[in-house]
Structure 1
Amino acid sequence: MTQLALFGGGEDGPSGLRYTDDFINAAIEQDLIDRIAALPLQRFQFGAFEGNRRVASFGYRYDYALQRLAEAEPIPDWVTPVARRVEAWAGLPEASVRQVLCTEYEVSVGIGWHRDKPHFDKVFGLSLGSPCKFRFRRRSGDRWERHTLEALPRSLYMMDGEARSVWEHSIPPVEARRYSITFRTMKRT
């Protein structure tokens, strides 16, 4: 497994962004894709708007109408082993991942600029099926500082620190169907 060093900042990328290729093998990837495709995925709802990507949340989900976290179905047994591997890779205690989001992006679907909700702490993304450009930006005076990470199939990224709290991220419309599993830890209160 190849692991890139923690990015420093500026041209090297956001501080707190960590990435590795081939986090899982092709057989596990296909099994995860099949399981996500079999879920009762729903269009992503944020307030009065509906996103084109289809999702299923486990553990917790953010309720945009109530503007708070709500409990969701428990994290499925089939995703737990991958969550444990994510925690080990990040050096986190077991059961640190408390929220899982499974997402399907059809061709030409992306996600706009945003930061994950402040209720969450570390955010991990497992890319499945096809690559995507994972874009980052932050305001620097009167311009935007930008960084793009090519997230390959079977790769894992982690956003922590500034990559998580200062930089926004987005995915432009994908060129082929893509799936992802997002794993989130909870912010301590």
Structure 2
Amino acid sequence: MTQLGLFADPRGGPAGLRYTGDFIEAAVEQALIGRIAALPLQRFQFGAFEGNRRVASFGYRYDYSLQMLTEAEPIPDWVLPVARQVEAWAGLASGSVRQVLCTEYEAGVGIGWHRDKPQFDKILGLSLGSACKFRFRRRNGDRWERHTLEAAPRSLYMMDGEARSRWEHSIPPVESRRYSITFRTMNSE
């Protein structure tokens, strides 16, 4: 098991980035992929723009037209056991995960540079189906510091601290279909 912790040296990865491989078993992964594929996934809406990835939000969703969080369908019962397992791994109290985003990336689809909305606190992601390069960058004077995490199928990452607040992240176009489940806690501010 590989775990990235609080790094003093940014070449080792952003401070606050944690990662573990084989977080779930292959049979659980296949069951989760089946559940996500059966959802009424919709193209990601970014204001007037439409992304190529397909998503379903639970608990809350960010409405780019209103520029605010809105309530979404409750987190499905089939996600809750995995959410509790994620919370335990992250050292969070049960019920801390308040937002879940299920995403399907077809081959050739990625996600551009961004930070998750400030209403969310800790971000945890479960990678399903295929590997991806999870890229990080932050400006340091006139240059960019960069880090790439190879996120294997069935792996889990957590962004907290600087990895969450000071680094942007992106996923370049994936080589084959990938699914993910993002678990978010809420910011109390």
TM-score, length-scaled by structure 1: 0.98
Number of residue-to-residue matches in the alignment: 188
- For residues 187 and 2 of structure 2, the distance between their equivalents in structure 1, rounded to whole angstroms, comes to 26
- Aligned residue number for residue 36 of structure 1: 36
Structure 1: which 5+ residue stretches go unaligned?
A: none
- Secondary structure of 1:97 counterpart: coil
Residue deviations 1:120-166 (CA, integer Å, cap 9, x gap): 00000000000000000000110100000000000000000000000
- For residues 129 and 162 of structure 1, the distance between their equivalents in structure 2, rounded to whole angstroms, comes to 28
Contact 2:4–2:13 (Cα < 8 Å) also in 1: no
- Secondary structure of 1:163 counterpart: helix
- Aligned residue number for residue 110 of structure 2: 110
Residue deviations 1:88-143 (CA, integer Å, cap 9, x gap): 00111000000000000000000000000000000000000000000000001101
Question: Which 4+ residue blocks in structure 1 deviate beyond 3 angstroms?
Answer: none
Which range moves more in the overlay, 2-11 or 77-86? 2-11
Residue deviations 1:14-43 (CA, integer Å, cap 9, x gap): 000000000000000000000000000000
- Aligned residue number for residue 159 of structure 2: 159
Answer yes or no: is 1:80 the counterpart of 2:100. Answer: no
- For residues 174 and 64 of structure 1, the distance between their equivalents in structure 2, rounded to whole angstroms, comes to 25
Structure 2: which 5+ residue stretches go unaligned?
A: none
Structure 1 residue 75 displacement after superposition: 0.1
TM-score, length-scaled by structure 2: 0.98
- Aligned residue number for residue 22 of structure 1: 22
- For residues 71 and 98 of structure 1, the distance between their equivalents in structure 2, rounded to whole angstroms, comes to 11
- Aligned residue number for residue 6 of structure 1: 5
Answer yes or no: is 1:127 the counterpart of 2:124. Answer: no
